[in-house]
A and B are shown apart, each in its own frame.
Chain A
Amino acid sequence: GAVVSQHPSRVICKSGTSVKIECRSLDFQATTMFWYRQFPKQSLMLMATSNEGSKATYEQGVEKDKFLINHASLTLSTLTVTSAHPEDSSFYICSARVGTGVGSGNTIYFGEGSWLTVV
């Protein structure tokens, strides 16, 4: 089946530095990818929608200058956490949709997630 891959799976960075997380669709093209954030024992919260070739759409309350999203190709989206702070420590997960229409074939797969720890 379709696979979405994230890298790195775990990263530790110092406060004030930037860190990039990659999300790749391995065997399909994804014009749209989604970035979520998950705190321990909580559900997934949408951060932004990544659109290939155009600007990302951010959810209310998500700082676009802090969480930079680039969707440069149909198989790659990146999330860069800039000037990271300890409160940015979280589990970041991307997803991509396979299928284009309503009805069968609309499946959304998730990556394995990336643990970010800011020290």
Chain B
Amino acid sequence: EDQVTQSPEALRLQEGESSSLNCSYTVSGLRGLFWYRQDPGKGPEFLFTLYSAGEEKEKERLKATLTKKESFLHITAPKPEDSATYLCAVQAMRETGRRALTFGSGTRLQVQP
């Protein structure tokens, strides 16, 4: 069974204080690892897809990295508008059947001015 564990559950940062969010996963063949941002009452907003260990992707203050067991979302010099819940999800490599994402429980990030 695919499993995704995110830590910490909640994180409070001061504006400009860089940090990293962790996503540990177990999956029977990784098709893709996804990062999303979710604001309260909204659907998840796509950030990144990572496909293989060693891959990195960046978008503004966010950088996602991937190893064979975990992924990190690095936030550099965060701003209050980066406050949100960040979700990690995996998609398994299957020819048929379930190809939906398995989500972690998320990290609630609060960036204080």
A residues 77-115 with Cβ under 8 Å of B?
91, 93, 95, 97, 102-104, 106-113, 115
Contact with A along B95-106 (1 / 0, CB 8 A): 001111111111
B46 touches A108 (CB 8 A): yes
A44 to B70, CA, bound (A): 20
Is the interface on chain A under 10, 10 to 19, 20 to 34, or 35 or more residues? 20 to 34
Instruction: Specify which of A49, A107, A112 is in contact with B100 (CB 8 Å cutoff).
Output: A49
Given the complex, which residues of A lie within 8 Å of B49, measured CB to CB?
A: 106-108
A113 touches B41 (CB 8 A): yes
A43 to B36, CA, bound (A): 12
The answer, yes or no, to whether B80 is at the interface (CB within 8 Å) is no
A110 touches B31 (CB 8 A): no
Least Cβ distance of B71 to chain A in Å?
Answer: 16
B44 touches A44 (CB 8 A): yes
A102-B51, A103-B51 known; A44 vs B103 contact (CB < 8 Å)? yes
The answer, yes or no, to whether B43 is at the interface (CB within 8 Å) is yes
The answer, yes or no, to whether B93 is at the interface (CB within 8 Å) is yes
Q: Which 9 pairs from chain A and chain B are nearest by CB? A: A110-B43, A113-B43, A43-B103, A110-B44, A34-B100, A43-B105, A112-B43, A46-B100, A44-B103
Residues of B within 8 A of A (CB): 31-32, 34, 36, 41-46, 49, 51, 87, 89, 91, 93, 97-106
Residues of A within 8 A of B (CB): 1, 4, 6, 32, 34, 42-46, 49, 57, 91, 93, 95, 97, 102-104, 106-113, 115
